[in-house]
Amino acid sequence: MKRILILSANRTGHGHASIARALTEQLERLEGVEVKTIDAFSLFGDFAVKASGLYGTMARHAQQVWKLSYKGTTRNPQRLVKTISPLLRERFLETLQKQPPGLILSIHPFFNGTALNALAGRGLTIPFAIMLADLVDIHPLWADNRADVIFCPGMDSFFASLAHGVSHEKLHLCDFPTRKAFTEAARNRSKEPYDGSRPLQCLLMSGGDGPGNLRNIAQTLLRYFDAHITIICGRNKRLHQSLTQSLAPHAKRVRILGFCTNVEDYMMEADVALVRASPNSMMEAIVCGTPLILTGGLPGQEERNPEFAQMRELGVSCPDYRKLASLLRGLLANNAAGLKHISAKQRAYRNLDAAKEIAAVLYERTLDV
């Protein structure tokens, strides 16, 4: 039996949980593998779980507060690890004792040093892997050279990890893992390129933009283009209600949704997706071949993601909705040549087997228990 314990986070956006699910889907297809995923904030106690839930609020309404907290923790990460390690140690070791894993995989920087300290303190030599959840800017807490392997989704994160002092031999270059629902949709469904002969299908996702930007973006699309819009608000009920009211005059052209388990369906039908530059949202769109307009990035780990996409021609950046109409007109010129170009670049870039390839490496490194 190969048992893998994944340390993830359920309330700090959907990214960590999405990566955990993408890898679990592939690991469980392998012979004799048992995967257990826990919200590792629970190992610090109920307060930490509740505190982690503030991420969404800060991402939507207090991005400067998030920026200050993010930057603040980069100044002396080892002091932070030393301070919080005792809070995790006992619950973490109890978890290991109940079901000893043959490998531990961390998908959140907060848990790397604390978990490795607990293992070292008890003299345990369980293989420890880290899956980076960021594309460009890597928080120092990701870069713990005691890990057996660190998966880097692209050269930017690879070189950032080296700059933080991780040994070259500890790094494994890979592509970003995406859930099977998206990769299978991309494999099995055809996606007609937009040519201007029908209404433009636009997908908007709330991310960290907040009600004001989403409303303004939607109104811009409705005013200047023959567009039909789908807005996914996630669990943000206040945003859903606000947009339903403000966009009521355009009800025939607007579809406003809450939490969805089939985002891939809306991604596949969209001609263009307007999203925050979170790695998961970006890569899900890229896998589906859906041109991206990135409306901004969370300060800290997402600041340079729009640049990442633009350099590879996987999407364009438009943090100011007042420039959206002009930008989109350019993409739609000449029978939407700009959108077609982005889609072609996405298809050349994407790796539909990324999660499968990472799972194979994890499998090889997992001890039998």
DSSP 7: E
Residues 145 and 237 in one domain: no
- Find residue 201's DSSP bridge partners: 228
34 and 169 in a single domain? The answer is yes
> Which CATH number do you get for residue 257?
3.40.50.2000
Domain contains 164: yes
| Residue 337 shares a structural domain with residue 193 | yes
Task: Say whether both 220 and 167 belong to one domain.
Answer: no
How far apart CA 223 and CA 220 sit, in angstroms, is 5
The answer to whether residues 149 and 254 belong to one domain is no
Clarify whether residues 329 and 289 are in a common domain: yes
Could you tell me if residue 304 is inside a domain?
yes
Q: Are residues 192 and 172 in the same domain?
A: no
Same domain, 341 and 228: yes
Residues 199 and 140 in one domain: no
Residue 283 and residue 148 share a domain: no
Per-residue pLDDT of the chain (369 residues; tens, 9 = 90+): 999 999 998 866 678 999 999 999 999 999 999 999 999 888 876 655 555 554 565 555 556 665 666 666 777 777 777 887 887 888 899 999 999 999 999 999 989 999 999 999 999 999 999 999 999 989 999 999 999 999 999 999 999 999 999 999 999 999 999 999 999 999 999 998 899 899 999 999 975 434 458 999 999 999 999 999 999 998 888 889 999 999 999 999 999 999 899 999 999 999 999 999 999 999 999 999 999 999 988 877 788 999 999 999 999 999 999 999 999 999 999 999 999 999 999 999 999 999 999 999 999 999 998
Q: Is the domain of 204 the same as that of 314?
A: yes
Residue 291 falls inside a structural domain: yes
The answer to whether position 97 is within a domain reads yes
Distance CA 325, CA 229 (A): 15
Q: Tell me the C-alpha to C-alpha distance, in Å, between residue 351 and each of 46, 180, 252.
A: 38, 12, 37
**Bridge-based pairing state of the strands 128-131 and 103-106:** parallel
Residue 43 maps to a domain: yes
Q: Do residue 223 and residue 255 come from a single domain? A: yes
Domain count, the chain: 2
> Does residue 160 form part of some domain?
yes
The whole model's pTM is what? 0.92
**Per-residue three-class SS string for 89-142:** HHHHHHHHHHCCCCEEEECCHHHHHHHHHHHHHHCCCCCEEEECCCCCCCCHHH
Task: Please indicate, yes or no, if residue 141 is contained in any of the structural domains.
Answer: yes
Q: Which domain holds residue 279?
A: 188-349
Is 183 within the bounds of a domain? no
